[in-house]
Structure 1
Amino acid sequence: MSTARQALGTSRRVVLALLAHLDATGATVRLPDDRRRVRRG
């Protein structure tokens, strides 16, 4: 989350909402260590 927040230059609150949306739509895959990876293909 910190990396996404810094890359986007926005607040933690905005990044949390964005990552939750990406998780819900299947655009990202959560890894066992709570990182996320963009789903390809």
Structure 2
Amino acid sequence: MSNAVMSNAVMSNAVMSNAVMSNAVMSNAVMSNARTST
């Protein structure tokens, strides 16, 4: 039981980190795009 909960927590953390990472990369790409277009 503990192991399953632990795995779920780690999985959620990985997904969360991935979402944050993607968001940061996306923002960075948009920022770079805006900077080059001006």
TM-score range, shorter chain: 0.3 to 0.5
Determine which structure has more spread, i.e. the larger CA radius of gyration: 2
Q: TM-score normalised to the size of structure 1? A: 0.39
> Of Structure 1 and Structure 2, which has the larger fraction of its residues in strand?
1
Higher relative contact order (CA 8 A, sep 6+): 1
Q: TM-score normalised to the size of structure 2? A: 0.41
> Of Structure 1 and Structure 2, which has the larger fraction of its residues in helix?
2
